Chain A
Amino acid sequence: MSSKINGHVSPQPCPHLLVFRSRNGPKPFRALQDCIRVKPPGGRAAIRREPTEVPRCGTCEESSRSRLYACVACAAVFCHAPLLHSHASDHSLSIPGHEIAVDVDRAELFCCACGDQVYDRDFDAAVVLAQTVNATATTSTSGSTAMQCSVAGSQPENLRKRRRVDYRPWEPDSGEHISRGNQSIPLLDAANASLVSSTQQPWGLRGLNNLGNTCFMNSILQALLHTPPLRNYFLGDRHNRYYCQQKNGAINGTKNSRLCLACDMDALFSAVFSGDRTPYSPAKFLYSWWQHAANLASYEQQDAHEFFISMLEGIHEKVEKDKRKSQSPAGSGDCCIAHRVFSGILRSDVMCMVCGFTSTTYDPCVDISLDLEPNQGGSGKSSSAKSLNSFNVEADCMRPNQNCGISTLKGCLERFTRAEKLGSDQKLFCQKCQVRQESLKQMSIRKLPLVSCFHVKRFEHSSIRKMSRKVDRYLQFPFSLDMAPYLSSSILRSRFGNRIFPFDGDEQDASNDLSTEFELFAVVTHSGRLDAGHYVTYLRLSNQWYKCEDAWITQVNESIVRAAQGYMMFYVQKVLYYKESENQGTS
């Protein structure tokens, strides 16, 4: 309903406005022009018969309502509050030809019959003229050229609806200069750029002191500190610990309310990325985590994976209370940063062997725990962790059915997504047969997380035999991993062949959002026995590998990493993995 006149789009008048114009001569709003009052602060135009008039609704005497309209035909003022009562509408209905009114506080035309603002070029011209005249009256220009000057040149102060400050590029004041000097470290020392690249360690590498068997915590923290989306979240000040504590402290003064693992994470990120290379003691973090996971609070060695899970829960718990987003679907990751980064969705299909009925369930997960099966192939060759030649075998073992005796991560994932016949002692209830039947179960990945964490089940706790043992078997893992074969869509396709599935539309959003390629960025390794072991984390930064062993960080060759005994492997979506160029010195 708009037309272009001279390149300007102007709204078409409503039928009532057209009728009004046709009935009231060439300048129907001329009389209103005398009533336009422009207030100097801001230059707003209002309609008042007398400058000091207090407009009042003719029907109900209300003067404090926000929308008062004066009928253009008879100058009567009425209120308009469509939900309560609209005396303006009543008036327009009672007398034909009185549909057009003007908002007394905004000088805008309104059609009471249409319930909408209408525009008239002559009226708008009159308002602009009044505002311009007012503007020139208050500026110090003189003579008849005043109007031309103020209109042609920059807009005078009170024609602007809002006070605006002219743009000035930011310059630090003296106080800011000083604090910049004291607390800043130059990111790149331009003078020594060429010397810096080879000797300088990347940002965010800082040793963590062992506070008493806390290598389980240090190793996980090192991995999390370099998880790209998590690092970006905290370094981007998305969880400001000062603001969070202020907010929580205000609500509830007790100590418990100020426990926030996310705040402690924020403090940790600040400390580790500060540029200070001296080892840091995450004592506050440990204390907070003890308060959160009271059952694990001791100086005994804990399981790193258990710590990882409990940490994610801790972050989720606190942030969820703030945001109140518990209604979001599980696995969508909308609830907190921990889930946004790590949460994926697993699909489980259980097929009845008798009737073929398949029941499907979806469960969110923050990591995937993989079994280390005994060696396949009869060679009996034990793959020792020290065997540096093992990664050469990868070229020969491209296909899973070529058993070379080496366990690989891909092999574990294949096993994980393989259709598994549940034994006769594990019969599941089939809805169609209405009785427990032998079933076939198959897992697949419905939705990939941003960061995939693979946990290798190396610690076997047998409650029957009342003993635990550690599986030391070497597991080979790739630096780049394509998760496509383990997605639900791939698994189903391999199960049924190329068919048109009724749930195809369902699967779409799972795989086409992000790619399926992942890059390894952190490996948590365990060495030693179950009761006396040591965790070490290897981090991959700018394609260099660094060994993080509590307070000691050293650069290592990638072959060392490949040979290490992986316990937890962290892969990030390739699109989120920034590969810095090798030459840091070049500008």
Chain B
Amino acid sequence: MKHSVNRPPTPDAAEDQGKEPTLQEIINVKLIESGEKERLMELLRERLIDCGWKDEMKALCRAHVKKKGRNNVTVDDLVHLITPKGRASVPDSVKAELLQRIRTFLMSAAL
């Protein structure tokens, strides 16, 4: 068996080494490195449970599985099903809170 897990992947031939990372990427990396992304994810999870969003999505999935049959549904189906509804039904207060946290983080990271 190959211990391939410990070996870094071979660089993709199409990789452009001169490409500038986008602002989104820079922010993302900073969030991950500082551990802030993990904290934000936890916060988001908590808020989405509190407001019943998770239960709503669960119910949607259940209904879909009931309709299609347990063995005829894949993860991709469910993701496809709930992604638009999920994105649309996140409460504004949750969005606002997270944006505020990100803003605060960015201001502190910029210093």
Contacts and interface: CB of A to CB of B under 8 A. Distances in A.
Interface of A: 1, 24-25, 27-28, 30-32, 34-35, 39, 41-42, 49, 52, 54, 58-59, 61, 63-64, 67, 73-77, 82-83, 110, 114-117, 162-163
Please give me the 5 A-B residue pairs with the lowest Cβ-Cβ distance, nearest first: A116-B74, A31-B5, A115-B76, A76-B9, A64-B28
B104 interface: no
Contact of B38 (A39, A64, A76, A115): A39
B12 A59 contact: yes
A110 B74 CA distance: 10
A1 B71 contact: yes
Q: Is the interface of B mostly helix, strand, loop or mixed?
A: helix
Interface in B1-48: 1-9, 12, 14-15, 19, 24-25, 28-29, 32-33, 38-39, 42, 45-46
A42 B5 contact: no
Contacts of A35: 5
Most buried by B among A25, A35, A41: A41
A75 B71 CA distance: 29
A52 B39 CA distance: 15
A82 B42 CA distance: 26
B75 A63 contact: no
Interface residues of B, number: 33
Given A75-B4, A83-B80, A115-B74, A58 B42 contact: no
A110 to B, nearest CB: 7
Given A74-B4, A110-B75, A115-B75, 4 more contacts: A30-B1, A31-B5, A41-B42, A73-B4
7 contacts: A24-B1, A28-B1, A31-B6, A64-B28, A73-B2, A73-B4, A116-B75
B75 A34 contact: no
Given A31-B3, A82-B76, A54 B15 contact: no
B80 A82 contact: yes
A279 to B, nearest CB: 43
Given A41-B39, A82-B80, A77 B74 contact: no
B94 interface: no
Nearest to B11: A58
A134 B33 CA distance: 21
A117 B28 CA distance: 27
Nearest to B38: A39
Contact of A77 (B4, B9, B28): B9
A41 B33 contact: no
A25 B49 CA distance: 41
Contact of B9 (A24, A30, A58, A114): A58
A32 B5 contact: yes
Contacts of A39: 38
A25 B3 CA distance: 12
Contacts of A30: 1
B33 A52 contact: yes
Contacts of A59: 12, 14
A39 B79 CA distance: 25
A27 B2 CA distance: 12
A116 B76 contact: yes
Contacts of A67: 79
Nearest to A108: B75
Given A52-B33, A54-B33, A64-B25, A75 B5 contact: yes
B28 A63 contact: yes
B1 to A, nearest CB: 5
A522 B70 CA distance: 52
A1 B69 CA distance: 11
A117 B71 CA distance: 12
Nearest to B31: A64
Contacts of A34: 5-6
B9 A74 contact: yes
A61 B15 contact: yes
Contacts of A1: 70-71
Interface in B50-83: 70-71, 74-77, 79-80
A96 to B, nearest CB: 15
A163 B46 CA distance: 9
Nearest to A29: B5
A374 B3 CA distance: 101
A31 B80 contact: no
B89 to A, nearest CB: 16
A54 B4 contact: no
